[in-house]
Structure 1
C-alpha cells in the first residue's frame, strides 16, 4: 500500500491513470453536480468544454476520508464525492474573500 504523506507523493497519486479513471467514475455517478449544494437544495454543475477555450474548473472529487490518513481508501469509489470548489474549500477550512466569523462576538478586554 502506498503512502501519501508528502506533496510529491500526493501529486504523483493525483496524476495517475488509476486516479483519473476513478475520478471520472465519481463525476459520472454524481451526475457532474456538487453533492453538498444538492443537499442544500441548490444546483452547481460542471462547466462545459468550449472548443479553443480552456475549461474552467468548477468541481473537485473529494476524499471523504483523506488519503494521508486512510491510504487504503484512496481508490475506493464510495470514499469519493463530487463538490464544487466553494464547498470543497469550506470542508478544508479554506475561506477566501470573506473573513472567517469569530466564534464569539464578545468584546476582547
Structure 2
C-alpha cells in the first residue's frame, strides 16, 4: 500500500486512532490476517496455536511511519503476545485493550 501525506500527517500528529480506522489500514490488516491464517505467529513459533487478534507493526509506526502500510512489516499476534511486545501488564487498568489495534 502507498503512504500518502494524509497517513504521515495522522501518524506525525499522534492521531493514531484515525490512522487505524482508515480504509487503507483496515484493508492491509485483513490481508495480513489472511496471509497468516488468522494465527498468532509468535505462538506458532513456540508450537502453540492461538487466534491472532492484533496486527502488529514490527517497525513501530511512530518511529518508522514509512513502513506503516507495508505488509512485510506486519505480524499477526494474539492479545497476550501483543501486550508482551509492548510490555503491558495483563491487569493494567490504564486502557482496556480491544481488537483492531484500538488501544
Could you report, residue by residue, the CA deviation over 1:66-86 in whole angstroms, capped at 9, with x for unpaired residues? 110000000000000100000
Tell me which stretches of 4 or more aligned residues in structure 1 moved more than 6 Å: none
Q: CA deviation at 1:96?
A: 1.5
Task: Report the TM-score, using the length of structure 2 for normalisation.
Answer: 0.76
Q: Which residue of 2 aligns with 1:92?
A: 86
In structure 1, C-alpha distance between the alignment counterparts of 2:65 and 2:91, rounded to whole Å:
33
Do structure 1's residue 68 and structure 2's residue 54 form an aligned pair? no
Q: Could you say which structure has the higher helix fraction?
A: 2
Corresponding residue for 2:101? none
Matches within 5 A, 1:1-109: 1=5, 2-3=8-9, 4-7=11-14, 9-45=15-51, 59-97=53-91
Q: Partner of 2:83: helix, strand, or coil? A: helix
Runs of at least 5 residues in structure 2 that lack an aligned partner in the other structure: 93-103
Aligned residues: 85
Larger radius of gyration between Structure 1 and Structure 2: 1
What's the C-alpha RMSD, in Å, of the aligned pairs? Answer: 1.6
Structure 1: unaligned runs, 5 residues or longer: 47-58, 99-109
TM-score by length of 1: 0.72
